Amino acid sequence: MIEISDVVTQALRNNEPIVALESTIITHGMPYPANLETALKVEATVKAKGAVPATIGIINGRVHVGLTADQLELLASLKEPCLKTSRRDLPYVLSQKLNGGTTVSGTMLVAAKVGIPIFVTGGIGGVHRGAEETFDISADLTELGRTPVAVVSSGVKSILDIGKTLEYLETQGVCVATLGPRSEFPAFFTPSSGFQAPYRLDTTSDAARLVQHCLAFNTGSGLLIAVPIPESSQADGEAIERAIRSALTLADQQKIRGRDVTPFVLSQVNLLTSGASLTANMALIEHNAAVGAAIAVDLARLRGSS
């Protein structure tokens, strides 16, 4: 059910630094061709930092770890429906031989199965606004509570309830730390959310040691390393918030629910901000890839010396 590319197989065998990458950003997160351009840039960034990129996706019911350029193009340009695939969806997508973009949850699960401890994404899912009525809470959070993979992201998407998301991560026993001079938890498009992260790390070496000890202690849970978007790339926080509120109202009016909410809202926010949010999204995922690759390199060095 899982096909690992020759490049990733060799890297695993040689204990080289590897960075897992999701495919939902390709299939649902951005329009074509921006999605493909971003995927290729992210992989190039990981390589430039000395690590091996392993983009994970599902094609015709087969999980691929280390998508080729042709496979990336296929997923990016598909006209027929491609399912957002989390832990819940994997058995169905595989059994029906469908195409799927793996979410944070789905990518973490596959990465853990093949032995990749570092995973980079733009932002994880979380507790949706109004969850006290809808109970709409992303499977990404429970996955972090039970799968030993370190996720590097720019916090959670700002369309979500960040405060409740941090509370839920605490309940799940997930270690959360920001990386950099700020202890404030980032809000995806902007470095500030108004909420403090439990811990702060100064360097990628510090982050690698945290990952090493989390895995060695065998807590059974993952960890979240939150990397703020560079200030040069951040979007206008107030404009983003206005756009989010408008998009959420429209989603409610159109009765959009469940897995369809996030891609719809992100698309509307991009429209309402005249593309500013998409530009910020592309910049932050590339930045996260560079940081995640550096952590993977430091982790491989630590493991080699221990």
Any idea which residues carry the catalytic annotation? 22, 157
Cis peptide before 198 (omega within 30 of 0): no
Dist. CA 282–CA 122, nearest whole Å: 8
- Is 254 in a helix, a strand, or coil? coil
Distances (CA, A) of 300 to 4, 69, 181, 207: 20, 26, 24, 12
DSSP string over 217-244: HT-S--EEEE-PPPTTT---HHHHHHHH
Q: Which of 190, 47, 264, 202 has its CA nearest to residue 21?
A: 47
Q: How many CA atoms lie within 13 A of 189 on its CB side?
A: 23
Residue 1 host element (H or E) = none
Q: Which of 81, 99, 243 has its CA nearest to residue 158?
A: 243
Instruction: Measure the CA dihedral 175/144/160/292, to 10°.
Output: 70
Residue 282 in tokens: 């592309």
**Cβ-based burial of 61 (10 A; exposed 0-12, middle 13-18, buried ≥19):** middle
Dist. CA 177–CA 156, nearest whole Å: 13
